[in-house]
């Protein structure tokens, strides 16, 4: 086994350039390769990729696969040997962008921006009823790193924050719910629902008619999790019946939606093309380098995925 491990960057040329320069500064003892075909089968220990590439089994000494993104649901982890660790991207750029997106989306809905845009199209000048932030209940489906970071940005406004997760959490200033038994109570107290759940077998299709029915009348949805979590037909029905007042969607299934899909033109829907949070090459390189240093020191890596749970 070679004494010089290799990092294989299976990503864009632009991202690879940034990573190569960062590795040369911080980890010059680790080889850097961006051509999988040219990489030594015995030397590759670390891989950065969006999906599991074909022919991965030839890298017999692979130890860690780093995801380019914050999620790993795009990985077919069944193709990885059991000893290979999977790490999702946890970097400052992703966190900051998600904080911006969720804050913008919450304020957009809180201040009825979609309604005012619709009124403008009709040349209608009419003030709508306003609510103080302290009267607006924001609920997060998922209480992971990104959700908690977004909550930090919302707290100064005075919103009443709550979150739901599979297992118990304790977060200062946040009313926490967990498990299937507490989901109805969480939904019943939520005016704006923010979905930041990872995609798993349990969360696939979770945003359905039954869930929407448990939200208060006039509630709104912000979906920045994963497209397959949303039943689009159920959302359209909830909007058309006026049970839900609006939706801001950053993810869909498929992506992009077909041009004829009604979500494109629905007056109560704002669509963005999966841009809520995008990996930034410079800070991503720093995060990966820090994790490789942790791995070599025998310390736990940030963003390590429990392959059994899928996140």
Catalytic residue selected from 169, 274, 294, 307: 274
226 is catalytic: yes
Torsion of CA 210, 214, 249, 90, to 10 degrees: -100
Coil, helix or strand for 195?
strand
**Long-range contacts at 129-136 (CB < 8 A, ≥ 24 apart):** 132/158, 133/157, 133/158, 133/159, 134/158, 134/159, 134/160, 135/160, 136/110, 136/160, 136/191, 136/192
Angle between helices 281-296 and 92-110 (to 10 degrees): 130
User: 71 with 88: CB under 8 angstroms?
Assistant: yes
The tokens describing 5, both together, are 């491990």
- Comparing C-alpha atoms, which of 127, 130, 163 is closest to residue 145? 163
User: What are the b/e assignments for 12-31, b being 16+ CB within 10 Å?
Assistant: eeebbebbbebbeeebeebb
Half-sphere exposure of 108 (CA within 13 A, CB side): 20
274 is catalytic: yes
Give the Cα separation of 132 and 70 in Å (integer): 33
Give the Cα separation of 7 and 119 in Å (integer): 55
- Comparing C-alpha atoms, which of 308, 202, 223 is closest to residue 272? 223
Catalytic residue selected from 45, 110, 226, 295: 226
Give the Cα separation of 83 and 212 in Å (integer): 41
As annotated, the active-site residues are: 226, 274
């Amino acid at each position: 086994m070679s004494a010089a491990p290799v990092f294989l960057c299976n990503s864009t040329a632009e991202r690879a350039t940034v990573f190569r320069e960062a590795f040369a500064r911080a980890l010059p003892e680790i080889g850097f390769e961006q051509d999988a075909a040219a990489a030594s089968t015995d030397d590759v220990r670390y891989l950065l990729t969006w999906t599991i590439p074909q022919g991965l089994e030839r890298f017999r000494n692979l130890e860690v696969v780093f995801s380019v993104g914050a999620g790993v649901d795009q990985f077919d982890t069944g193709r990885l040997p059991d000893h290979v660790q999977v790490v999702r991207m946890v970097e400052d750029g992703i966190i900051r962008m998600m904080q911006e997106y969720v804050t913008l989306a919450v304020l957009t809905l809180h201040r009825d921006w979609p309604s005012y845009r619709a009124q403008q199209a009709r040349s209608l000048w009419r003030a709508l009823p306003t609510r103080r932030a302290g009267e607006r209940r924001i609920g997060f489906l998922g209480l992971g790193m990104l959700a908690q970071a977004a909550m930090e940005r919302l707290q100064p406004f005075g919103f009443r924050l709550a979150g739901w997760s599979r297992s118990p959490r304790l977060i200062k200033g946040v009313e926490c719910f967990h498990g299937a038994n507490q989901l109805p109570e969480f939904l019943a107290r939520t005016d704006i629902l923010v979905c930041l759940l990872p995609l798993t077998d349990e969360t696939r299709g979770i945003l359905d008619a039954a869930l929407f029915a448990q939200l208060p009348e006039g509630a709104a949805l912000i979906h920045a999790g994963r497209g397959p979590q949303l039943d689009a037909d159920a959302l359209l029905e909830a909007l058309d019946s006026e049970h839900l007042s609006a939706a801001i969607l950053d993810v869909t299934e498929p992506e992009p939606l077909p041009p004829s899909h009604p979500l494109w033109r629905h007056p109560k829907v704002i669509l963005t093309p999966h841009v809520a949070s995008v990996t930034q090459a410079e800070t991503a390189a720093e995060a990966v380098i820090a994790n490789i240093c942790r791995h070599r020191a025998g310390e736990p890596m940030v963003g390590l995925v429990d392959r059994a749970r899928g996140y």
